[in-house]
A = this chain, B = another copy of it.
């Protein structure tokens, strides 16, 4: 969906500009859809439902989005942005493989849990169009590949025991993706707590003794 522009005027108004309102509403739409997707799954979520939840008609949604698939695609992209952020952070502050992994995991989980709506969609990978699947798949591969290399680094620098990097990454990614299904922001465990606990579990699983 590409927004057709309209001249924004010489100076920003105090209230929101049309473009900002557009962006805001679109975001609300994405959030609501993502929430619904994670609850009932992509295919069982009708756009009519989403629209109703937003107090609007299905037709209105199509003003902000080309089609249903675009929503899902956008959600996936948003989720992967968190991965990128986490990588950046880990790379900057970690001093060896083990530290970087702990930071990566913890940061990633904190971001995910803080804005879960966008991410609960990770499980809906095969609801993506083949074309989109290719794009998202590539991004996921990049993430996992980086993660795997981190494990190898850790083994090389002695901070980790000798585990299978590939399986270790899969092991953890599963735990994370699954998290998006049971995590409840208003539940007994806070996102930070879970992030810390999971990071601790993984760390214990792979650190050198």
Chain A interface residues (CB < 8 Å from chain B): 39-44, 123-127, 161, 163-164, 167-168, 170-179, 181-182, 189, 194, 197-198, 200-202, 204-206, 209
Main secondary structure on A side of the interface with B: helix
Q: Contacts of A164 on B, CB cut-off 8 Å?
A: 197
Q: Contacts of A200 on B, CB cut-off 8 Å?
A: 163
Q: Contacts of A40 on B, CB cut-off 8 Å?
A: 126
Closest to A204 in B: B205
In the complex, what distance in Å separates the CA atom of A167 from the CA atom of B189? 9
Q: Contacts of A209 on B, CB cut-off 8 Å?
A: 209
In the complex, what distance in Å separates the CA atom of A174 from the CA atom of B180? 10
Given A189-B167, A205-B201, A206-B204, verify A41-B175 contact (CB < 8 Å): no
Closest to A172 in B: B175
Q: Contacts of A205 on B, CB cut-off 8 Å?
A: 201-202, 204-205
Q: Contacts of A173 on B, CB cut-off 8 Å?
A: 178
Please tell me if the beta carbons of A174 and B178 are within 8 angstroms of each other in the complex: yes
